[in-house]
């Protein structure tokens, strides 16, 4: 059974860079035909896609974040990572990692991790 | 403002059927058969219920069904059960710069 687990600091200071890692177990991040994505959800609000990466390194970003976001993959560790720079209080949300084919259906999700931006 | 439009809330009694709509454009819902639906209980991660408009992943009850007409997709839940009370989100592949777009979510209340 494929499992995804987010990890990283739960508290980030304003203007700094948020860094999260998603570790994939029970399967290979190099599996053909799948992307690995980051989605966020402010408390009590809806889902927002941040971006996705293919195992080859090709990335797709939500234009709303494009200037601040970087997603990378480390196939040797079966992990992919999110960096979001110049964070503000508006970036205080639950961050999820997930897998999807190119059709975009997110079939496996991590449990999510709450990141709070505060000094 | 979300890219896809869903009603904020719907409700139904146990045993009844309800339908949640998801309206987009020809660049997303109307242009591709790549609409998905997710169920989210409080404090939990979303769970994929329907993919590619009308397909159910293994293990999802056949009480859940999906369809699409033009730029609007729909999720129907038949034989409502108390455990179906949750938030439901639609998503679609999009030809815009964004790969995936979500609806704003619909809160289902089982009366």
Model confidence pLDDT, tens digit, residues B54-85: 999 999 999 999 999 999 999 999 999 999 99
Asked if A67 and B9 count as a contact pair (C-beta separation under 8 A), the reply is: no
First to last CA, chain A: 39
Mean pLDDT, range A42-65, rounded to an integer: 91
Pick the closest to residue A96 from A79, A78, A77, A115 (CA basis): A115
pLDDT for res A90: 94
Whether residue B2 is predicted with pLDDT greater than 70 in this model: the reply is no
Q: What is the DSSP letter of B24?
A: -
pLDDT computed for residue B1 by the predictor: 59
pLDDT at A22 over 90: yes
Cα–Cα distance for residue pair A61/A53, rounded to 1 Å = 9
CB contact under 8 A, B45 and A96: yes
Mean pLDDT along residues A60-73:
91
- Determine whether the interchain pair A105/B48 forms a contact, defined as Cβ–Cβ distance below 8 Å: yes
What confidence tens digit (pLDDT) does each residue in B31-45 have? 999 999 999 999 999
Give the strand pairing for B72-77 and B64-69.
Answer: antiparallel
B88 touches chain A (CB under 8 A): no
CA-based nearest residue to B12, from B82, B90, B62 = B82
- Chain A contact probe: residue of B91, B99, B104 with most A CBs at under 10 A: B99
CB < 8 Å to A112, chain B: 45
Strand-pair partners of A108: A99
Residues of B with Cβ-Cβ distance to A47 under 8 angstroms? 38, 46, 89, 91, 102, 105
pLDDT at B16 over 70: yes
**Residues A70-95, mean pLDDT to the nearest whole number:** 96
pLDDT digits (tens, 9 = 90+) for A8-18: 999 999 999 99
In terms of pLDDT, which residue wins out, B33 or B3? B33
User: pLDDT at residue B97 above 80?
Assistant: no
């Amino acid at each position: 059974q494929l499992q995804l687990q987010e990890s990283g600091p739960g508290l980030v200071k304003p203007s700094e860079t948020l860094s999260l890692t998603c570790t994939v177990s029970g399967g290979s991040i190099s599996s053909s035909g799948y992307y690995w994505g980051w989605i966020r959800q402010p408390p009590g609000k809806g889902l927002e896609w941040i971006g996705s990466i293919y195992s080859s390194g090709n990335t797709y970003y939500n234009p709303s974040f494009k200037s601040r976001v970087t997603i990378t993959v480390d196939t040797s560790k079966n992990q992919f990572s999110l960096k979001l720079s110049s964070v503000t209080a508006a970036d205080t949300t639950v961050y999820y990692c997930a897998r999807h084919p190119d059709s975009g259906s997110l079939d496996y999700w991590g449990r999510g991790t709450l990141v709070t931006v505060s000094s | 403002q979300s890219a896809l439009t869903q009603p904020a809330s719907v409700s139904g009694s146990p045993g009844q059927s309800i339908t949640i709509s998801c309206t987009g454009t020809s660049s997303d819902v109307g242009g591709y058969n790549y609409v998905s639906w997710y169920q989210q209980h409080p404090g939990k991660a979303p769970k994929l219920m329907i993919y590619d408009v009308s397909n159910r992943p293994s293990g999802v009850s056949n009480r859940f069904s999906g369809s699409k007409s033009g730029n609007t997709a729909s999720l129907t839940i038949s034989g409502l059960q108390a455990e179906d009370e949750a938030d439901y989100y639609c998503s679609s592949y999009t030809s815009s710069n964004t790969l995936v777009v979500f609806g704003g979510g619909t809160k289902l209340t089982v009366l």
